[in-house]
Every structure is written in C-alpha cells, then in structure tokens.
Amino acid sequence: MPDIEFFNITKKFGELTANDDISFKILSDTVHCIVGENGAGKSTLMKILFGVYHPDKGYFCIGNDKKVFSSTYDAISNGIGMLFQHYMLIDDFTVLENVILGREPEKKFSLDYRKSENILRELIDKYNLNLSLDKKISDLSISEQQKVEILKILYRNSDIIIFDEPTAVLSPLEVREFFNIVLKFKEDNKTIILITHKLNEVKEIADRVSVLRRGKLVYECTKEELDIEKLSINIIGEIGEKDIVTRKEDVSEKKTLINFKNVGYISGNRKILDNLNLELKTYEIFGICGVEGNGQSEIVRLMMGMIKPSEGNMYKIIGEISLVPDDRIKKGMIENFNIGENILLKSPLHYISKKNIRNISKNIISKYDVRVPDFNVPMSALSGGNQQKVIVAREIELDNKAIIFYHPTRGVDIKATGFINSKIIEMRNSGRAILLISSDIDELLGLSDRLAVLYRGTVSKVFEKNEIDFKDDISRNVLLEKLGKLMIGINQE
Amino acid sequence: MYNSIFAGFVAAVFINLLLSILFSVFTVKLKINQIVTGVGFNLLIAGLAKFLLILIFHSSSNTPRFENFPSFPLFKNIPGVGELLSDYIILFSFALVFLSQYVLFRTTFGLRLRSAGENPEAAESLGVKVRNYKFYGVLISGFLTSLAGIWLASNQNGFSDGMVAGRGYIALAAMIIGKWKPYNIFFACLMFAFFEAFEITIQISGFGIPSQLIQMLPYLITILVLVGFIGKTKPPASDGIPY
Ligand SMILES: Nc1ncnc2c1ncn2[C@@H]1O[C@H](COP(=O)(O)OP(=O)(O)OP(=O)(O)O)[C@@H](O)[C@H]1O
Ligand SMILES: [Mg+2]
C-alpha cells in the first residue's frame, strides 16, 4: 500500500481556520492516531482526505499521485473508507441493503441477494463481525451499527480506513473486540487512521501519533517515543493543573427521589427490564455500568416518564429531571438552531430577543469553554465534542434536583472531561441526585458513590464506595476483571 | 381527429410527463417544498382543464362523447368478472401490483429509489445519484397518474369537469393505509373501491340517506382504519423533504 502525505492543508470556515498549513505523512500498513482537543480540526482534516470538504490550500498525495477528491464517492472509488463520528445508515433498511447500496451485485433483471449474502458472510466471518444480515438498523445497538459501517467499508475494498472516534460509544469489552478487528486490518496490509481522545488506547494501538491543536500540527511521535504525560501536555498546550473538585463527606440525611421496586418492562414480547430495584438519592452519584442494550435506555425513559413500567412500581417524588441523552444529535438538540436557541428550548417560557440569545450563548461559551467559530452558527457547525459541551451545560444550568448523565463525556477531550467530571461532583456535593450511565469504567469508578452492574435488565450487583476505591494498580485490575465478567453475566459469588 | 382515443392516450401521457418534469424542476432542482408545489399544480390543472374545455369544446362541463378503447377479448366470457378483465388498463394495473413490488424490493433501481427517500445523505455518500432517482420517481408516478386519468375519461366515454372527485387524495390515503407496500396498497384500494360502489348502490336504491353523508364514507373509513387497525404507519424518513 502507498503512503499518504499531506502538504500544507489549510481549511477555513469563515473567520475560523480549522486546518492551518498542516503537513505530515501517514505510513502505509500502520495504525496512525490523530489526537487533539475538541475543535482542533481532526474531523475536518479527515473529511478533506475523504472528499467531504475541499481544502482552501494544499493537497495530499497517495503514493506518488497528487490528489484532491471532489466527492466522498470519489474517495471511496480510490480505496478510502471512513467511519464518521455520526453514522450514515438507513434505519429502515436491513444490514444487507445498507451495505450493498450503490454497489449491488446483479443478475439479469434483479438484485442478486444470494450473491450479496455470500460475499458479506465471508467478510463477517473473516473479521469476526458477528452481525446478522437481515436485521433492520433500527433494531441494532450502537456497537452493532458501527460494525455495519465497518462492513460497508470492507465491502468496498478500502485499503485506507479512517475511524473518527470509534471507541467513544463502546464499552470496554467492545473496545477490545474493535481493536482486534483493527489489528486484523493491519495484518491485511490496510492503513488505519484513528481519532480518539483516550490516550491509553493510543498507547495500546498506535504505531505513530500526530497531535493537532487549534488547527495546527504541533507534535508527532512513534510508538517507541510515546509517553502519555508528554502527549497530553502537547494536546492541551500547557501543563494541565488537576483541578478535580474534592468529594465532600457523605451526609446522613439522604433523601430518595426515585425508587424502582421490582420493575419490569416488556416491549413487544421481549422482557427488557426484569425485577429491577434501584434508588436515586440526593447527595449521591449512582453509577450504572453494563454493555449497552441491557436496559440502560429503558431506565432513563422510565425516569423521564416516557414509558411506564409493565410490572412493579416506580416511585418518583420530583417533577423535572435534567437529562444529558446518549445520542446528542437525535435526542439532544436541533441541528439547525444555534447554541442560544438550543439552550432556550428547555428554559421556562421566555421572551426571545437577539440580545438575550447572544447573552445566553456567550455565557455558556465562556463558562464551559466551548470552541466555536461564532456564537451564531447552527449546532451542526460545531465539532462533536463542543456540541456535547453545550448539551451538558444546558442540563447542568437548569439546576434541577435530579439529573441523568447518559454518556456525559462522549467525544469530549481530556480537559473538558475533567471539567465536566468536577461539575458532576460539585452537583453531588450540593445535594443533587445523579444517575451516571457511562461506558467509561474509569469515569464510573472515579465518580460513583454506588456502582451498579446492569445485566439483562436487572441489577446483578451493587458496589458501595469503599468497594470501588482501589489503592494500587493490582487491586484496580482485579476490580476491572470482576466488573468485566459481571457485565457479561459471569457472577463468581 | 377529435374522436381518436389513441391520440388522446398519447396526448395524456405526453402532457403528464411534461408536468412531471416541471414538477421535478420545482421540487428536485429548485428544492421548493413539495406540498406547496403539489397544491399549486392541483389548483392550476383543475382550472386549466376547465379553461381548455371551454376553449376547445365550447362547453364548461364536458367533452363530446367518444368511443372507449377496444376491449381485450380473451377473458370476455368469464361470468362476473368478464367485463372487468376485458379492459387493458385494468389488466395492466393488476400486473402493476406485482411489477412495483418486484421493482421496489428486488432490483437495484428499487433499492436506490427507496434509499433516496429514506436517507439521501447516506445514499449520496455511497455514490447514489439521489437527484436522478427523485426525478425518475416523479416521472414514473406522472406516467401512472396519466393512465388513471385516461381510464376515468375513457370509461365514462368523455371527460367532464371535476370527474376525478378527490380520488387522488384517496390514492394517498391508500398509500398510507398500505404502509407504502404495493400488496397492502392493492387491498386498501379494493377496500375504497368497495365503499365507492356501496355509496353508489345506496344512492340508487334511494334509502333517503343524504348523499353528502355517504360521500364522507371513504374518508371516514380511512380515519377509522388508521386509528383502529393499522396502528402506526411510518413514511420513508425523508419523505417530502427537498434534497
Ligand atoms: N461546516 C462547518 N461550518 C463551520 N464551522 C465548522 C464546520 N465544520 C467544522 N467547523 C469548525 O471547525 C473547527 C474544527 O472542527 P472539527 O470537527 O474538525 O474538530 P475536531 O478536532 O474533530 O473536534 P472533536 O474532537 O470535538 O470532534 C471547529 O471549531 C468547528 O466548529
Ligand atoms: Mg471530530
């Protein structure tokens, strides 16, 4: 496979320079990680390589050929595949239809479903993708949808595969599985470009790393030179002060705001929640860990009053609950509205003037360090992590008694993750009741006062604070192993 | 010349295709809202038909009588359905049920056509030329509606003003009740046809039920069926959204 080399790539959006004179090389048959803060320009650069955007200046070479693609289709035809931060799937189509669309095997007068099936089966087996071809996308979990996107790329014989934050939505076990797929790609002489915010993942999988900051390439290193401390300094551009808010001592008069008693929830003929018990209390962060699809979203929907339990009872003694939803695009915002409008959506009725939209936006932008080209742009022009910050900010500022964080730091960079985590602790200290659902085990261990493992719609175990406080790496690993097993249903007690 | 039904056939198809092209220029190329454009066309053409009627035939209500198509002889003598099955357009419309099912769900063209209605961004990213498929879609539906109009006029041996009588909306209702699936739509259409025949029978028998009440029937049925039996019907995700 040929190398890819960028030469002086520059891309502006209005006043903002998203990519500023970037030149570097990606070696063939390697895993190349690209890291950087939210809004650093990572996705933009990759979209240029994939033909979504045109650079204002500069070009890139694949091997010796100078290239600039005019469309994604052009890029695909040249052997490039990209997994976007936000998936491009047709919900009402089956896995098979989604994958073959645009490149369908045909026999005389019709689509050759049999042949498509055989080709895809082979790919699924080869890369252990574990997908069933005739399921509809709307019935798949996020990690399965991701596999469909991967299958789409494989089906088009791409040799260069770009992954934009693929692990943000995966649980630790699924990350393992994903990395195995990536390593297999490497074995097959494919070049992999991977964007992530998780530096331990970089350490694990990268052959080379490039760091972007505010549109510029600021640092590069190889696997051998890689040092997480140094990398994170280069990402942030300063030595990060660890301003983690300290957790106040437990208070004794906690009050239960939401109480699930033997709750069951049936949808169609599937039992999604089964005999579930949990309590959400003031002055407490209640963490839930588990593989996605074990009932997390139903718990959230029950609490929000969107569905009712089929069995058992849910007692709730508060009205409004804030929610940071798992899918920011579909459930958290209106893409064509600007920041201020998206925030006002949830405030009490209110006279809306240009001035007060501006003030609200500016306030959130500075308080939560949202990086935007202009306060007035629609949400769709914000980078993924910055969109997330806006949603989190809105929900925190609502100042309700209870708040649900469903993947609060999904796609958010290290610094902002630290900031959001401290905010969560601050809210807990001031007596809010907090439900935290996350795929990031470290986040759960660091924040939770109690941590429940959710498996097949029921809480299989609850850890108290002292049980998840580890003293050293060894006890941490023991704990992680235990959690990992519980999450797939192995209970050793 | 006035009395050649075949010339009429060709003219109807030609004009419908022309209008379809115009419609897709507005909605696909210029991305004007489809409902607004549709309502505009609807009003314009109803008026235009009447205008031309006066201009050409000097009547504000109907054309002179003309002969129907020759009939298809093969099934003519089957008792009960013989008359039905000797009509070319009706025969074709039966075939169309299977043909559209096949084209939509078994061919590459159908897959791409549906993808354009479900998620045009995703389709385009895979090299599907979404605009072209939207154009083909409008063109096909224009051709099919021309057949519907031709049948209506030829069956009555003449065109009269307002003879369509809201059947286009009934067709939309059938599509919704049929959940955008040809076989289901076929049965929905049969159901509407049954109630229309029922309406006529009752009117003729003169039970003294106000005819307006009976004319409401198909619409009432649509609402009842939708609420009572079919449950949630989901249109293609990007239905009606300009791309
Ligand atoms: N279509 C657009 N219009 C205007 N500005 C845009 C557009 N796309 C991106 N930007 C801006 O360009 C900058 C870089 O965005 P980009 O999506 O490349 O960031 P990123 O490094 O991928 O960040 P994240 O880690 O949050 O995904 C951001 O400030 C963003 O707001
Ligand atoms: Mg990004």
Average pLDDT over every residue of A233-257? 77
Q: Does B111 touch chain A (CB under 8 A)?
A: yes
pLDDT of residue A192: 96
Q: Is residue B38 part of a domain?
A: yes
pLDDT of residue B235: 84
A477 Cβ neighbours under 8 A, 6+ residues apart: none
- CA B214, B219, B220, B222 torsion-angle sign: positive
Residues B17, B115 within the same domain:
yes
Q: Is residue B219 part of a domain?
A: yes
A52 lines ligand 1 (CB under 6 A): no
Q: What is the ipTM of this complex?
A: 0.82
In this model, does residue B1 exceed pLDDT 60? no
Span A436-486, pLDDT tens digits: 999 888 899 999 999 999 999 999 999 998 888 877 888 888 888 889 889
pLDDT of residue A44: 96
| Cα distances (angstroms) measured from residue A334 to each of A98, A341, A344, B54, B240 | 26, 9, 11, 52, 19
Residues B110, B210 within the same domain:
no
Average pLDDT over every residue of A414-418? 88
Q: Among B124, B125, B237, whose Cβ lies nearest the Cβ of A91? A: B237
Residues B23, B125 within the same domain:
yes
Q: Is residue B76 part of a domain?
A: no
Q: Does B122 touch chain A (CB under 8 A)?
A: yes
Q: How long a stretch of residues is chain B?
A: 243
Q: Among B122, B127, B236, whose Cβ lies nearest the Cβ of A76? A: B127
Shortest alpha-carbon distance between residue A4 and chain B (Å): 22
Residues B145, B174 within the same domain:
no
Span B81-112, pLDDT tens digits: 888 888 999 999 999 999 999 999 999 999 99
Taking the C-alpha atoms of residue A429 and residue A254, their distance in angstroms, rounded to an integer, is 12
In this model, does residue B3 exceed pLDDT 90? no
Strands (E), A146-292: 160-164, 191-195, 208-213, 216-222, 256-267, 270-281, 284-289
Ligand nearest to the CA of A35: 1
Q: Which domain holds residue B41?
A: 7-70+86-164
Residues B131, B224 within the same domain:
no
Span A171-212, pLDDT tens digits: 888 898 899 999 999 999 999 999 999 999 999 999 999 999
A373 lines ligand 1 (CB under 6 A): yes
Q: Among A73, A93, A109, whose Cβ lies nearest the Cβ of B127? A: A73
Residue after which a domain boundary falls, among B164, B185, B211: B164
Q: What average pLDDT is seen over chain B?
A: 88
Most B CBs within 10 Å: which of A50, A80, A82, A90, as the mutation test of the B interface? A90
Taking the C-alpha atoms of residue A456 and residue A467, their distance in angstroms, rounded to an integer, is 23
Q: Which two tokens stand for residue A435?
A: 């439900």
A42 lines ligand 1 (CB under 6 A): yes
Span A74-89, pLDDT tens digits: 898 899 999 987 888 9
Number of domains in chain B: 2
Q: Among B106, B110, B122, whose Cβ lies nearest the Cβ of A88? A: B122
For residues A373 and A16, is the Cβ–Cβ distance under 8 A?
Answer: yes
Average pLDDT over every residue of B64-68? 87
> Helix, strand, or coil here: A12?
strand
Shortest alpha-carbon distance between residue A106 and chain B (Å): 8
Question: Per mean pLDDT, which range of B142-146, B159-163, B222-226 is the poorest?
Answer: B222-226
Average pLDDT over every residue of A10-32? 94
Residues B155, B170 within the same domain:
no
Q: Which of A414, A363, A415 is nearest to A393 (CA)?
A: A363
Cβ A97–B112 below 8 Å, yes or no?
no
pLDDT band at A488 (very low <50, low <70, confident <90, very high): confident
Cβ A97–B111 below 8 Å, yes or no?
yes
Q: What average pLDDT is seen over chain A?
A: 91
pLDDT band at B2 (very low <50, low <70, confident <90, very high): low
Cβ B107–A111 below 8 Å, yes or no?
yes
A438 lines ligand 1 (CB under 6 A): no
Residue after which a domain boundary falls, among B114, B139, B164: B164
Ligand nearest to the CA of A16: 1
Cβ B123–A101 below 8 Å, yes or no?
yes
Q: Which two tokens stand for residue A28?
A: 């063939």
Q: Is residue B123 part of a domain?
A: yes
Cβ B119–A91 below 8 Å, yes or no?
yes
Distance A111 CA to ligand 2 centre (A): 36
Residue after which a domain boundary falls, among B116, B144, B164: B164
Q: Is residue B241 part of a domain?
A: no
pLDDT band at A123 (very low <50, low <70, confident <90, very high): very high
Shortest alpha-carbon distance between residue A101 and chain B (Å): 7
Residues B98, B35 within the same domain:
yes
Residues B124, B224 within the same domain:
no
Gyration radius of chain B's alpha carbons: 20
Q: Does A88 touch chain B (CB under 8 A)?
A: yes
Q: Is residue B78 part of a domain?
A: no
Residue nearest to ligand 1 atom 1, measured at CA:
A381
Determine the residue of A43, A82, A370, A371 to mutate for testing ligand 1's pocket, defined as the one with the most ligand atoms within 8 A of the Cβ atom. Answer: A43
Taking the C-alpha atoms of residue A234 and residue A80, their distance in angstroms, rounded to an integer, is 29
A145 lines ligand 1 (CB under 6 A): no
- A-facing residues of B in 224-243 (CB < 8 A) are 234, 236-237
Cβ A89–B119 below 8 Å, yes or no?
yes
Q: Is residue B80 part of a domain?
A: no
Residues B191, B228 within the same domain:
yes
Cβ A111–B122 below 8 Å, yes or no?
no
Residues B40, B158 within the same domain:
yes
Span B178-228, pLDDT tens digits: 989 999 999 999 988 888 888 888 878 777 777 778 778 777 877 888 777
| Residue B162 Ramachandran class (φ > 0 left, ψ -120 to 50 alpha, else beta) | left
Residues B127, B181 within the same domain:
no
Shortest alpha-carbon distance between residue B104 and chain A (Å): 10
Give the global pTM.
0.81
pLDDT of residue A351: 77
| Cα distances (angstroms) measured from residue A128 to each of A30, A154, A180, A464 | 21, 13, 9, 37
pLDDT band at A240 (very low <50, low <70, confident <90, very high): low
pLDDT of residue A239: 66
Residues B120, B33 within the same domain:
yes
Q: Is residue B50 part of a domain?
A: yes
